[in-house]
Amino acid sequence: MSMSRVQEILTTLDKAKWIGYEKTIPGQLDYEFKELAEIYSSVAPDEAKEIRDITSDDIRPLILGFSSRFATIAVRNRDENSLKIALLVHVIEDFRIDPRENFLRLPVISHVAERIGLNVKKLFKWAALLASESTAKDLRSFSSQRPRARSLDSVGLEEYYDEEKGGISYRTVEDWMLPFFGRNK
């Protein structure tokens, strides 16, 4: 494993944090993150920890966004590998910035897994084996919840067909918090 290549990818992602992702999915940044995820999943636990530790907090929000992008690739192509990369986002990011952000994205992965015929618990168990102890616990906890608790509805998301992008995408449902807080007047 080349830590120098890992550092190059992290530098590329760091430069992109102010620019954002390409409109096309997949874009060049997606390929960069995919390579990072593939390296991460192939290394020994001590090297995986090093990758998690050298990932700057400045780029963790950008990294979290790859979760939705790879889940979208997975559902459009019925591709298990892309869904695994979406889950590796959370393993590499390690729930460090704000775990609520992770828990808002994990339902998309769960939904896509079910939609393309994968076993959610088995998929999350696979990711937990590659994660830090605390992230592994969070992933196992999430996947053991009732299906309704890990659904798109639980976080106010819906699946839709995006004509412009030519495929399935996910978006926030307007007024999804109304049952909790009521309408602003």
Domain ranges of the chain: 3-181
Contact 93, 63 (CB under 8 A): yes
Strand-pair partners of 172: 157
Which amino acid appears at position 108 of this protein? V
Least confident of 6-15, 26-35, 128-137, 164-173: 164-173
| pLDDT at position 166 over 70 | yes
Neighbours of 82 (CB within 10 A): 23
Angstrom distance (rounded) from CA 21 to CA 6: 19
pLDDT in tens, 126-150: 999 999 999 999 999 999 999 999 9
H helix or E strand, kind and range, residue 158: strand 157-162
Contact 175, 158 (CB under 8 A): no
Angstrom distance (rounded) from CA 86 to CA 83: 5
Mean pLDDT (the chain, rounded) = 92
Angstrom distance (rounded) from CA 96 to CA 77: 30
Cis peptide bond upstream of 26, omega within 30: yes
The pTM assigned to this predicted structure is 0.90
